Structure 1
Amino acid sequence: MAASKVQLGSTIEVLVTGLGHEGQGVGRWMETAVFIPGALPGETVQARVRRCAKRHLEADLLEVSQASPERQKPPCILAERCGGCSLQHCSSAMQLELKRDLVQQSLSRLAKLETSVEAVWGCEQGFGYRNRALIPLERAEDGRLRAGYYRRGSHKIVNLNHCPVLDPRIDALIEPIKKDLEKTGWPVDVNLSAKGGLRHLALRVGSATGEILITLVSSHRQLKGLESLAQRWMERWPEVVGVGLNVQPKASNVVMGPETDLIAGRAWLLEIFDGIELRIAADTFFQVNTAQAQRLVEPLRHFFAAGKSATVIDAYSGIGTYSLPLARSGLKVLGLEVHPLSVSQATANAERNGITTAFFEQADVAAVLAERLKMTGSLLVDPPRKGLSAEALGAILDGTPDRLAYISCNPSTLARDLQQLCGEEGGYRLETVQPVDFFPQTSHVETLALLTHSGSAA
């Protein structure tokens, strides 16, 4: 029977040989690729076909006929339903090897680069590592509040009171905050299908300080009694330093809107990163795994210190996460960031720590990078998951900085960009590809790629 003729609901037997970018097991049936969430490489499984795409099948795991020795019982009782984690059923050692393979395969298949990828830097904390949570909310027909991440492949919330990958200090707040919000009677509608209302609960903790921010995301400000509730939270939990209301009126998958009202306390928490005090707001970007993010500082410092230029451009610099440690080590750093609040926080963080060689400019990286590269031969880029824009990549290819460090959270877009940078026209040589496990129990992996231009000394 041809794969194109397989019927929905059919049961098929598949030998799983690899892992997809979303953590699904990948095998072949009748020469057609099959994606099966919950299956591991090396396993033979029975699966039910639920979707027939043009070039692949998607199937639900029914039974593991021959299990991998690396299979384990997920610590979280919701792991099989919740879409937050995709690899809790896989041993830590195998997770690291699978993530290394994801990066290696992306570089070889997509970028045609036969570069050796280093072993993944594992995370000491396999659970309790996330310093931030963004949890969708909805109110059931009986009035009860539901909070949780979406079921894999859907927009149906899997109700939870605890999440083991969250820092325990914010995980402990989910259940009592849910109970308080349930009593308010406020409308809750994450999808804005009715009259709007609360959409998400956002929690953030300073890993080193324990300071916590609570932020409610709503489509409007009509939440009667919010001020008194915020005060009660701060009195109940002294570690909570601020409560905010972020307004996101758009029916969008962008969780937070552009405005956050301070309801009680202060709008930022304090974090210690590489010995530097950072102020972090509820709606500015900071890596969710503080300890693993800090491990990138030393290789970046060493890489740029060995270059010809004493000035580094940090594109997509955020609140100065990497700009400030580099500047403190003796380099001059210019951070480029489009988000105005992040720029003001980065500037304040530099002043707070007495760092005088880090400067920050609010700008669209793609629009100004070509001009800024005229001042230096060292560049750090830490773009979003979509990778570098065509304009930013073009500026790098034209400006040819001697040293380029690329921090990526998406192996596919990293490979796409490296294909151009390391091609004949780009002229870059990959010195190191170092994956780092920022996200244990998931298929996501952070990667640091260090490149030197062929026209410069390595």
Structure 2
Amino acid sequence: MQCSYYDAHACRSCTLIEVPYPDQLRDKEERCAELLAAHAGLEWLPTVASPQAGYRNKAKMVVGGTAERPTFGILDGDGRGVDLRDCPVVAPGIRAVLPLLARFAVRAGLAPYDVPRRRGELKHVLVTESPTGDLMVRFVLRTERPLARLREHLPQLLEQAPRIRVVTANLLPEHKAVVEGDVDVPLTERTTLTMPLGPVALDLRPQSFFQTNSHVAAQLYAQVARWVEAIGPASVWDLYCGVGGFALHCAAPGRRVLGIEVSAEAVQSARHAARDLPDVEFAAGDATRFALASSPEQQPELVVVNPPRRGIGPELAGWLEASTVRHVVYSSCNPVTLARDLAAMPSLRPVRGQVLDMFPHTPHVEVATLLERVRPRATRPASSAGRG
């Protein structure tokens, strides 16, 4: 894939962009196979490739420049804005709306936040696109002062860009290297973006996590649903459930499904999406603490885990190893921590695996594995020979 920003050294985030795409996939397959080589009998399914361009459904744009000429992209080493509105990995619908958002920022008088001087208002613009083409836009501000101007000019923006369904102002008063703050102020009546993936429609609220590649995410959920359907468990836990993607895809009549997620915002989204599914529930909480507090009678037949890059860690891995859970589906964005966690669960054997290229042109990769509990060897009855 050709990228003028990369060629000009304006942005070098796609570190593998010069590697032919088939070679990128092969290298990721070989790396995952090497990291999980200790697990004999692991069957690798065909790798899921991604579109090479336009695959990112979310753009996190740092705002720089001036109030009259803002830049949307990144900052250079001196804190100056580098405009990346035409980034080729961002979805076309997002790229099309970015110039309108820049003009909106000018009309509303949103001075870009100057990182070196710590002044200004508009820090980031975050845009998410649904598979339907609908958009969620979030303006990350330093203070509440621009809210009146945002509301004043918003009708014109919505008229110019009718695919924008949700708009919020996120407040980030602190000077720190994070993308967003804890508070979102709704600016539109609608506050959720519908994300249909295959047979399931997920609801995305402003601070909820969602996979950045809708095409690959749909295939990930579908593969896990096929694994779960073939096993046919009566009960499933989806730990680190986010907005409920795995839980909702694994739902079936009579199957009890429970999703646990630390983000209350994501749980609210998941509950709304599951409103017509009486056997599917979601609760806010820490996945590890929830599992450790459960009794053997409460433990499900199958657990899905989809942790952040740090993995599930020794406590949850130890709980799974000692639990009555028969099958585990582990979806990982970091094969290094996946390998570490699998080594801590020797009674749960990986039997199926799949590489999914969620992040083309980068070293990052998603790996899904299906684990089954190794049955303990049957104890033979003591022989009567030699007994007196």
The amino acid across from 1:120 in the alignment is T
In the TM superposition, what whole-angstrom CA distance separates every residue of 1:116-141 from its partner, at most 9, and x where no partner exists? 65442112x2211211111111235x
1:79 to 2:6 alignment: yes
Q: Kindly indicate whether the alpha-carbon contact (under 8 Å) linking 1:373 and 1:401 is maintained by their aligned counterparts in 2.
A: no
* Unmatched tracts of structure 2, length 5 or more: 378-388
Cross-structure match for 1:274: 198
CA distance in 2, matches of 1:156, 1:89: 26
Cross-structure match for 2:155: 231
Deviation at 1:244, TM superposition (A): 0.7
Deviation at 1:260, TM superposition (A): 0.7
Output aligned runs, 1:56-455, within 5 Å: 74-80=1-7, 81=9, 82-108=11-37, 112-113=38-39, 117-123=44-50, 125-139=51-65, 144-149=69-74, 157-189=81-113, 191=115, 193-195=117-119, 197-207=121-131, 209-223=132-146, 224-307=148-231, 309-328=233-252, 331-351=255-275, 354-372=276-294, 374=296, 375=298, 376-422=300-346, 427-455=347-375
CA distance in 2, matches of 1:348, 1:373: 28
The amino acid across from 1:450 in the alignment is L
Q: Kindly indicate whether the alpha-carbon contact (under 8 Å) linking 1:85 and 1:441 is maintained by their aligned counterparts in 2.
A: yes
Identity %: 27
Q: Kindly indicate whether the alpha-carbon contact (under 8 Å) linking 1:149 and 1:159 is maintained by their aligned counterparts in 2.
A: yes
Using CA pairs below 8 Å that are at least 6 residues apart, which structure has the higher relative contact order? 2
Deviation at 1:113, TM superposition (A): 4.8
The amino acid across from 2:35 in the alignment is S
Going from structure 1 to structure 2, the CA distance change for 1:205 and 1:340 (only over 3 Å counts) comes to same
Going from structure 1 to structure 2, the CA distance change for 1:148 and 1:276 (only over 3 Å counts) comes to same
Q: Kindly indicate whether the alpha-carbon contact (under 8 Å) linking 2:318 and 2:344 is maintained by their aligned counterparts in 1.
A: no
In the TM superposition, what whole-angstrom CA distance separates every residue of 1:200-246 from its partner, at most 9, and x where no partner exists? 11001111x22111110122211151112222211111111121101
Deviation at 1:285, TM superposition (A): 1.0
Deviation at 1:84, TM superposition (A): 3.2
In the TM superposition, what whole-angstrom CA distance separates every residue of 1:368-401 from its partner, at most 9, and x where no partner exists? 1134473212100001111113332232222152
Q: Kindly indicate whether the alpha-carbon contact (under 8 Å) linking 1:84 and 1:149 is maintained by their aligned counterparts in 2.
A: no
Deviation at 1:347, TM superposition (A): 0.9
Deviation at 1:302, TM superposition (A): 3.1
Deviation at 1:92, TM superposition (A): 1.8
In the TM superposition, what whole-angstrom CA distance separates every residue of 1:268-290 from its partner, at most 9, and x where no partner exists? 12221222222212221111112
* Unmatched tracts of structure 1, length 5 or more: 1-73
In the TM superposition, what whole-angstrom CA distance separates every residue of 1:283-335 from its partner, at most 9, and x where no partner exists? 21111112211112333223223447310000011111111121146532100
The amino acid across from 1:220 in the alignment is T
The amino acid across from 1:403 in the alignment is H
CA distance in 1, matches of 2:352, 2:369: 6
Q: Kindly indicate whether the alpha-carbon contact (under 8 Å) linking 2:217 and 2:358 is maintained by their aligned counterparts in 1.
A: yes
Going from structure 1 to structure 2, the CA distance change for 1:431 and 1:251 (only over 3 Å counts) comes to farther
Going from structure 1 to structure 2, the CA distance change for 1:186 and 1:297 (only over 3 Å counts) comes to closer
CA distance in 2, matches of 1:271, 1:226: 26
CA distance in 1, matches of 2:207, 2:365: 23
The amino acid across from 1:126 in the alignment is Q
Q: CA RMSD in A?
A: 2.5
Provide TM-score, normalisation by structure 2. 0.87
In the TM superposition, what whole-angstrom CA distance separates every residue of 1:3-43 from its partner, at most 9, and x where no partner exists? xxxxxxxxxxxxxxxxxxxxxxxxxxxxxxxxxxxxxxxxx
Aligned residues: 371
CA distance in 1, matches of 2:319, 2:371: 16
**2:158 partner SS:** helix
**1:412 partner SS:** helix
Deviation at 1:167, TM superposition (A): 1.4
Q: Kindly indicate whether the alpha-carbon contact (under 8 Å) linking 1:162 and 1:175 is maintained by their aligned counterparts in 2.
A: no
Cross-structure match for 1:29: none
The amino acid across from 1:222 in the alignment is R
CA distance in 2, matches of 1:190, 1:455: 60
Larger displacement relative to structure 2 (158-167 or 335-344): 158-167
Q: Kindly indicate whether the alpha-carbon contact (under 8 Å) linking 2:97 and 2:161 is maintained by their aligned counterparts in 1.
A: no
Q: Kindly indicate whether the alpha-carbon contact (under 8 Å) linking 1:331 and 1:357 is maintained by their aligned counterparts in 2.
A: yes
Cross-structure match for 1:7: none
CA distance in 1, matches of 2:205, 2:45: 34
**1:417 partner SS:** helix
The amino acid across from 2:284 in the alignment is Q
CA distance in 1, matches of 2:237, 2:245: 13
Going from structure 1 to structure 2, the CA distance change for 1:154 and 1:131 (only over 3 Å counts) comes to farther
